[in-house]
Structure 1
Amino acid sequence: MGENFAFFLPVMMASFGVVFGFVWSLRVRAAGYWSGAYICVAGGFAVPAGFALVPTPVWGFVADLLFASGFLLFSQALLERWRPNWLLRARIAIWALSLLLCAVALALGNLPLELVASDFGCFLLIGLPLVAGKDHLGNWSDRILFSATALVALDNLARGSTVPLTLSGGSFQSSDYAFLMQALACIFGLFLALAALAANMLDLLTRYQRDALHDPLSGLLNRRGFDDAINQRIRRLPMQGSLIVCDIDHFKMINDVYGHALGDRVIVSLARILARFAPASAVTARFGGEEFVLFLPDTHAARAAGIANEIRESIAQEVADQFGLSRPLTASFGLSTAQSGDASIHDAIARADAALYEAKTRGRNRVCVRRALSAPDTATVDPQSRACNA
C-alpha cells in the first residue's frame, strides 16, 4: 500500500469523526457513537506511523484495541436507531474476548491468529446490529445504512476467513492482506459514513420539523401543527366534525400564587387529560397560554359535548388535588361544529371561541355550544354545565 494512501485513510476517518462530533453537538445522540467509532478506527489505521517511529510489538495490540473499540461503538451507534443497548453485555464480552485472543497471539508471535481474532471480533460486533435492524427498515435512510453495514460486516468476515491466502510471504505492510484491508476500508468506510451521516441528518430534520409543529411544554401540536394536520386531513376528506376550545379558569391566579413552575405542571396535566379522553382520530393542540383546541372528526355536537364534559369533570376532580391547590381548578369549554359554508377550520374556531366567552361570562366551569355566530338561545341543561345553543 502506498504511503500517500495509507496517510489518507486515517485522515478521512478522523474527518468523519469530527463531522459526526458536530452533529452530536446538535443533540443527535447516535452521532456521538459514530464520532467515537471513526476516531478509534482512524487511530487504528494511523498505528503504522507510530510503529515506524518506535518499532515495538505493542503497536499491534494498540491497533487491535482501537479497531475493536471502534466497532463496538459502531454497533452501539446502529442500535441507537434500531434497538438501543440490545445485547450490550454480549457485545462487550465479544470485544473483550477478541482483545484477549489478540494479546495471546501477540505473545505467541502468531500474526495470522491475531488478525483472525481481530477480524472476526469486528465482524460479530457490527454484524449483530443487522439482526436487530432487519425489522426496522421503514425508510430509505435505514435501508441504505443497513446495506452499508452489511458490506462492512462481510468485508471483515471475508478478510478474516482468507488470512492464510492474503498474508502469505513478506511483511504485514507489503502483504495482500494490508492492501485489501486499507482499500476496502476506504470504500466501505466511506459508504458507511455517508449512509450514517444521511440517516443522522434525516433524524435531525425530523426532530426540527416536530419541534416546529409541537408545543414543547405539553407535547401537543402548536397552532402551526394544528393547521398543518387539518390541512392534510381536508386534502383527503371533507371537513366534518366538531371543534372544542378549552381554557383554564383563573389560570393567572395559579401563576401568581403558586409560581410559573407549578403553572407549567398544570398545563402538562391538562394535556394528559385531553389525550386520555380525546378519540384516536382527534387533532389536539395547545394554542398558547392556557388555551387548548380539539378537532373531533366525524363527531356530532352531542357526542363532542359529552367528551368536553368528561374532560371538564376530570379536571375539576383531579388537578387541584394532584398539586395540593387550596381551591378547585376548573376549565371552561366552547364547542362548535364544522359547517359546509366554512371557508376554513378557523370559522369553526371563531364560533367555539364565542361559545367559550359565553361560558366564561356565565360563571365558568361549563360547556357552551354555538353552531352559528348569531345571538345564542340559552338553555340550561345541568347546574354545573350549561349548553348554550345557537
Structure 2
Amino acid sequence: MDTNNIIVYLPPVMLGVVAFAFLLLWHLKISTSWQWSAAFAQAGLGFALVPFPVSPTFDIFVAGLLYIGAAYCYGSAILLHFGAPMQRRVRRLFVGGYIVVHTIVVFILESLKAELFLTDVAFACLLGFALFNVVAKVSNVADRAMIISGVLLVLDTLTRTIVFTFFIRTSDQMADFAVSDYNLAVTVTTITIGLSFPFTALGAMASAAIRRHREASERDPLTGLLNRRGFELAVYRATKAAVAHGAIIVCDIDHFKQVNDGYGHAAGDNVIAELAAELQRHLGSHTVTARFGGEEFVAFLPHTSLVEASVIAQSVRIRFAGRDWHQAGIDRQITASFGVASIVDGEVSEAAAIECADRALYAAKTAGRNRVVVAGGECDCINTVDAGAVKTPPSAARDMAVDSRMSAA
C-alpha cells in the first residue's frame, strides 16, 4: 500500500477520535456544547467516503452535506462558547440555499470543479460568519488562539479552492476525485492546519471550564452576587494598584427568621433575591456587592464619599420597605437595616471599615430597625437616620443631638 493510500485514512481516524473526545468532554460537562463533537464527526465521515466509497455521485453529494453540516456545527459551538447571538435563521437560510445549489451542481451539471468550489466557499462563509461575530468578545489567550486557528482554516479553504479552480488544470469528472491532487491537498492540510483547530478549541474550553469553576466558587447561587471569598478577591483586584478608598455598606433584612418561619424558606429566598436585585439596581456595575451569608449583604463603593454612600443606602432602604410582597405570598411589610462606613486612604482598611459598618448596622437594629446608621471615619461616632436627608455630623455631640431629635419625632 503506497503513501497516498495510507494518508487518506488519517483524517477520518483522527477526526473520529477528536469527535469522541469532545463528546466525552460534553458528557463530563467540561464542554458546554455537543456541537463540537457533531462537527468533527461529520467532517470525519466526509473524509471516510474516500477510502470507503459507495459511488462517485453519491459520495460527492453526501460529502458536501456533511462538510456544510460540520461548518454549521462549528459555527454554533463558537457562538455558544462566546455567548453570542446564534443567528439561526440567517445561517439556516444559507444552508438551505447551499443544498439547493449543491443538488443542481451534482445531479444536473455533474461538475466536480463547480461542486468543490461551491462547498469550500460555503464552508468558509459559515465558519467565517461565526468567527466575525465573536471576534470582539475575545478576552484571553486561549480564545484568541482558537479564533486564529479558525481564521487559518477559513483562509486555507479559500486559498485551496481558488488555486485549484482557477490556476490548476484538474478533472471535472466526479469519479476522479479520490485520485486527484485536490484530494491529496485537502488531506494534507487537514492533517496539518486543520487539526490545530480542535486542539485550540480544547484549550479554549478548558480555560472556560476553569473560569466557570472559579466564578462558581466566588458566587452566591441564589442571588448571583459574590460570596465572601469572591468579595475579598474582587476588592483586592480593584485596589491592588492603589490604596483602597471609598465606602462600605452592610445591610441585612429585619426579622428575617419570622419571614422564614411564617411563610417558608422559598418565600425567604425570594426576599433575599429581591434585596440583592435592589442593591444591584442602585449600586451600579462599578460597585463590589456580595452576600456574606444568610440575609447579610456587603458592598464596597470605590471612590464614594460617606455622604454619597449614605444617600444610596437610604434610597435602597426606602425602595425595599415600600415593596408589595403579596405576589410572593407575604402579607406584611419587610424592611432592612443599613450600616455605612468609609475607607480612608492609609487610615481605615477595608476590613476595618466592614467592622465599623457592622457596628453601625447593630446600632440600627438596636435603634428600632428600618434605618441607616452612618459610622464616622474612625468609627468613633454614629448617626442614625430613619427618614429625611442623610447627614454626617462633625462630632459625636451633634450625633447625639440628631439621634435625640429623630427619636422624639
2:109 matched to 1:106? no
Measure the CA separation in 1 of the matches of 2:92 and 2:383: 70
2:183 matched to 1:167? no
Q: Which residue number in structure 2 is paired with residue 333 of structure 1? A: 338
For the 8 Å contact 1:240–1:339, the answer to whether it is kept is: yes
User: Where in structure 1 are there 5+ consecutive unaligned residues?
Assistant: none
Measure the CA separation in 1 of the matches of 2:195 and 2:57: 29
- Report the AA paired with residue 290 of structure 1: E
Identity of aligned residues (%): 35
Measure the CA separation in 2 of the matches of 1:112 and 1:121: 14
Q: Which residue number in structure 2 is paired with residue 272 of structure 1? A: 277
* Aligned-pair CA distance for 1:153: 1.7
For the 8 Å contact 1:94–1:124, the answer to whether it is kept is: no
Q: Secondary structure at the match of 1:364?
A: coil
Provide TM-score, normalisation by structure 2: 0.84
2:364 matched to 1:359? yes
- Report the AA paired with residue 342 of structure 2: T
Q: Secondary structure at the match of 1:299?
A: coil
Q: Give CA-to-partner distance per residue, 1:113-155, whole Å, 9 cap, x none.
A: 3322222221222222243344444433343223222222222
Shifted more, 260-269 versus 315-324: the winner is 315-324
- Report the AA paired with residue 170 of structure 2: L
Q: Give CA-to-partner distance per residue, 1:294-350, whole Å, 9 cap, x none.
A: 122233333322221111111100253563521110011122223567674222222
Cα distance 1:256–1:105, how it changes in 2: closer, same or farther (>3 A)? same
For the 8 Å contact 1:41–1:66, the answer to whether it is kept is: yes
- Residue pairs, 1:161-200, within 5 angstroms: 161=162, 162-163=164-165, 165=168, 167-168=170-171, 171-200=176-205
Measure the CA separation in 2 of the matches of 1:90 and 1:47: 29
Cα distance 1:205–1:328, how it changes in 2: closer, same or farther (>3 A)? same
For the 8 Å contact 1:221–1:285, the answer to whether it is kept is: yes
- Report the AA paired with residue 127 of structure 1: G
Cα distance 1:18–1:380, how it changes in 2: closer, same or farther (>3 A)? closer
* Aligned-pair CA distance for 1:209: 1.9
2:294 matched to 1:289? yes
Q: Which residue number in structure 1 is paired with residue 406 of structure 2? A: none
Measure the CA separation in 1 of the matches of 2:138 and 2:39: 23
Shifted more, 288-297 versus 163-172: the winner is 163-172
Cα distance 1:320–1:55, how it changes in 2: closer, same or farther (>3 A)? closer
Measure the CA separation in 1 of the matches of 2:342 and 2:5: 75
Q: Which residue number in structure 1 is paired with residue 317 of structure 2? A: 312
Measure the CA separation in 2 of the matches of 1:118 and 1:341: 66
- Report the AA paired with residue 45 of structure 1: F
Q: Which residue number in structure 1 is paired with residue 407 of structure 2? A: none
2:78 matched to 1:72? no
* Aligned-pair CA distance for 1:220: 1.2
* Aligned-pair CA distance for 1:40: 0.6
- Report the AA paired with residue 146 of structure 2: L
Q: Which residue number in structure 1 is paired with residue 353 of structure 2? A: 348
- Residue pairs, 1:92-241, within 5 angstroms: 92-108=92-108, 109-161=110-162, 162-163=164-165, 165=168, 167-168=170-171, 171-241=176-246
Q: Secondary structure at the match of 1:244?
A: strand
Provide TM-score, normalisation by structure 1: 0.87
Cα distance 1:143–1:338, how it changes in 2: closer, same or farther (>3 A)? closer
Shifted more, 234-243 versus 245-254: the winner is 234-243
For the 8 Å contact 2:26–2:34, the answer to whether it is kept is: yes
Q: Secondary structure at the match of 1:48?
A: coil
Cα distance 1:133–1:382, how it changes in 2: closer, same or farther (>3 A)? closer
Q: Secondary structure at the match of 1:219?
A: coil
Q: Give CA-to-partner distance per residue, 1:173-226, whole Å, 9 cap, x none.
A: 221011001111122221111222222222222222222222121111110111
Q: Which residue number in structure 2 is paired with residue 250 of structure 1? A: 255
For the 8 Å contact 2:336–2:369, the answer to whether it is kept is: yes
* Aligned-pair CA distance for 1:41: 0.5
For the 8 Å contact 1:101–1:114, the answer to whether it is kept is: no
Measure the CA separation in 2 of the matches of 1:278 and 1:380: 21
Q: Which residue number in structure 1 is paired with residue 403 of structure 2? A: none
For the 8 Å contact 1:36–1:70, the answer to whether it is kept is: yes
For the 8 Å contact 1:31–1:77, the answer to whether it is kept is: yes
Q: Secondary structure at the match of 2:248?
A: strand
Measure the CA separation in 1 of the matches of 2:160 and 2:382: 83
Q: Which residue number in structure 1 is paired with residue 89 of structure 2? A: 89
Measure the CA separation in 2 of the matches of 1:12 and 1:113: 28
Measure the CA separation in 1 of the matches of 2:29 and 2:354: 37
